[in-house]
């Protein structure tokens, strides 16, 4: 539907009398509505339009379309296809090196065997603490932008998504993205048992299974959830040119205190400069950070 320019001007003159004490008014446009003014087409979807009423007698409306949030966001499937396409175009290597795997497989296997008694105890504590399974499975994004089944110990209430739906909307405008953090110290979704599991990092022990299967590495960016793929554009997609890790540069550089954008920036720096010896240093520093519980919550 298009709105006649003359009609829009007349409406602006009438509205101007009401908004004499305001410089602007924000209008939420309904879905699929297309406004045409002075030859400018304002796009489909749910947007916020800021209309500035000028002081000239003609009542000219100066419109500035502000994209607050599109309900019709890029679908998860489209986002995954875009990331995969970007990585293929850049010639990203999606195969782990044989040398790295020769180190990772025995390390992961030994870690799983040695920590099995500890994991059994943790599983019992979780089961007795709150209703729900001991293990938490979730789709995550791996190398090449492809999904894999991520596993860790459950630290949230099993009905957290129903009790706190606002934590799972994953739709942010530019202002929110600047300060976005996923970890907070007083997270109401975290169980009492989950609280100390997170602080000690013991909830990540099952990650070694993902290392054993080759979906994850010992060191790399932490695996992203599919819902956040739409916020990765251009060079940021290179984060997915390597396998995600049990630990990484972000985990030894602030961990939960980091904003989303800071984490992505650190991950990209790792991708550009990674080496075998850098991974060794990250692993050693991770042990120190675990003991200090720095940024773990």
| Separation CA 61–CA 222 (nearest Å) | 48
State pLDDT tens for residues 213-245: 999 999 999 999 999 998 998 899 999 999 999
Q: Where are the domains of the chain?
A: 5-66, 76-292
Judged against a pLDDT cut of 80, whether residue 43 lies above it is answered with no
Q: Report the length, in residues, of the chain.
A: 297
* Structure tokens given for 85: 């396409």
173 versus 211: which is more confidently predicted? Answer: 211
6 versus 34: which is more confidently predicted? Answer: 6
The beta strands (E) that lie in the chain are given as 24-28, 35-37, 40-42, 48-53, 61-66, 135-141, 147-153, 217-219, 245-247
pLDDT at 80: 67
The helices-and-strands tally (H runs, E runs) of the chain is: 9, 9
The helix (H) or strand (E) run that includes residue 13 is: helix 5-18
Alpha-helical regions (H) of 146-221: 160-163, 174-179, 192-200, 207-213
Task: Indicate the range of 43-57, 72-86, 163-177 predicted with least confidence.
Answer: 43-57
pLDDT at 62: 37
Q: Is the pTM of this model over 0.85?
A: no
pLDDT at 297: 53
Average pLDDT over residues 152-179: 92
Among candidate residues 97, 297, 61, the one with its CA nearest the CA of residue 186: 297
* Cβ neighbours for 185, distance < 8 A, ≥ 6 positions apart: 256, 297
Q: What is the mean pLDDT of the chain?
A: 76
- Percentage of the chain with pLDDT > 90? 50
Residue whose token pair is 């309900």: 71
The radius of gyration computed from the CA coordinates of the chain, to the nearest angstrom, equals: 25
pLDDT at 56: 37
pLDDT at 207: 98
pLDDT at 22: 34
Strand partners, 48: 28, 66
Average pLDDT over residues 91-104: 69
Judged against a pLDDT cut of 50, whether residue 199 lies above it is answered with yes
Among candidate residues 219, 198, 208, 203, the one with its CA nearest the CA of residue 113: 208
Task: Indicate the range of 65-69, 179-183, 219-223, 274-278 predicted with least confidence.
Answer: 65-69
Average pLDDT over residues 178-187: 84
Judged against a pLDDT cut of 60, whether residue 272 lies above it is answered with yes
pLDDT at 86: 61
Cβ contact 24:45 at 8 Å: no
Cβ contact 259:180 at 8 Å: yes
- Could you tell me how far CA 156 lies from the centroid of its own chain? 18
Exposed/middle/buried for residue 219 (C-beta within 10 Å: 0-12, 13-18, 19+) = buried
pLDDT at 97: 72
201 versus 69: which is more confidently predicted? Answer: 201
pLDDT at 196: 93
* Cβ neighbours for 282, distance < 8 A, ≥ 6 positions apart: 219, 247, 248, 249, 252
State pLDDT tens for residues 98-144: 788 889 999 999 999 999 999 999 999 999 999 999 999 999 999 99
State pLDDT tens for residues 156-166: 999 999 999 99
């Amino acid at each position: 539907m298009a709105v006649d320019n003359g009609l829009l001007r007349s409406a602006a003159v009438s509205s101007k009398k009401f908004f004499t004490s305001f410089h602007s008014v924000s209008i939420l446009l309904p879905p699929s509505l297309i406004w045409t003014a002075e030859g400018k087409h304002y796009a489909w979807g749910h947007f916020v339009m800021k209309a500035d009423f000028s002081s000239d007698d003609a009542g000219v409306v100066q419109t500035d379309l502000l994209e607050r949030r599109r309900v019709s966001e890029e679908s998860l499937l489209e986002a995954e296809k875009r990331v995969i396409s970007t990585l293929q175009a850049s010639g990203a290597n999606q195969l782990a090196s044989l040398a790295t795997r020769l180190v990772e497989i025995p390390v992961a296997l030994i870690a799983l065997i040695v920590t099995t008694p500890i994991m059994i105890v943790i599983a019992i504590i979780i089961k007795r603490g709150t209703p729900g399974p001991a293990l938490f499975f979730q789709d995550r994004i791996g190398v090449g932008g492809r999904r894999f089944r991520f596993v860790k110990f459950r630290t949230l209430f099993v009905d957290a998504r129903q009790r706190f739906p606002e934590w799972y909307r994953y739709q942010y405008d530019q202002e929110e993205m600047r300060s976005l953090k996923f970890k907070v110290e007083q997270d109401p979704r975290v169980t009492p048992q989950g609280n100390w599991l997170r602080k000690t990092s013991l909830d990540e022990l099952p990650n070694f299974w993902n290392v054993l299967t080759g979906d994850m590495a010992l060191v790399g960016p932490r695996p992203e959830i599919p819902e956040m793929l739409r916020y990765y554009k251009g060079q940021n997609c290179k984060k997915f040119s390597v396998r995600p890790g049990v630990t990484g540069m972000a985990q030894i550089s602030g961990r939960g205190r980091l904003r989303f954008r800071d984490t992505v920036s650190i991950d990209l720096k790792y991708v550009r400069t990674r080496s075998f010896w850098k991974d060794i240093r990250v692993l050693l520093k991770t042990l120190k950070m675990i003991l200090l519980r720095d940024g773990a919550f």
